[in-house]
């Protein structure tokens, strides 16, 4: 799969707030699919949560592993690093350079 196609999958996955909420829950520790479904019990049924997990897996934002009857979902940080490197780091470098110039200008006066 081309990197542009993979980026499209990632941005599509991140476009939905419920999928971002799933990723937020996985930041601290892996969770079982049952735990993720319980977190959305009042608003989404199990099938819908599973569809959201599927979108996140296809985008490679989460990795799943079976352990007996449980399915553990883990956050995959690598695609986020790729996004940072491609889209954010250049802007961050410019911002840091701007702050350094501002500091130097302020110290000069």
Q: Specify which residues 73 forms β-bridges with.
A: 31, 64
- pLDDT for res 17: 96
Full pLDDT tens readout for the chain, 109 residues: 677 888 899 999 999 999 999 999 999 999 999 999 999 999 999 999 999 999 999 999 999 999 999 999 999 999 988 888 887 777 777 777 888 888 888 998 7
- pLDDT for res 85: 83
Closest by CA to 78, choosing from 63, 93, 90, is 63
Q: What is the CATH number of domain 1-76?
A: 1.10.10.10
CA–CA distance, 99 with 42 (Å, rounded to integer): 46
Mapping DSSP to helix (H, G, I), strand (E, B) and coil, where does residue 22 land? helix
CA–CA distance, 60 with 58 (Å, rounded to integer): 5
């Amino acid at each position: 799969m081309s990197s542009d196609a993979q980026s499209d999958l990632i941005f599509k996955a991140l476009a939905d707030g419920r999928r971002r909420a799933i990723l937020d829950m996985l930041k601290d520790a892996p969770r079982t699919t049952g735990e993720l479904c319980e977190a959305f019990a009042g608003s989404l049924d199990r099938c819908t949560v599973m569809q959201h997990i599927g979108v996140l897996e296809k985008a490679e934002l989460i990795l799943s592993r079976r352990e007996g009857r449980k399915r553990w979902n883990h956050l995959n940080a690598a695609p986020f690093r790729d996004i940072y490197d491609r889209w954010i780091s250049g802007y961050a470098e410019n911002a840091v350079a701007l702050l350094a110039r501002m500091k130097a200008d302020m110290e000069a006066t």
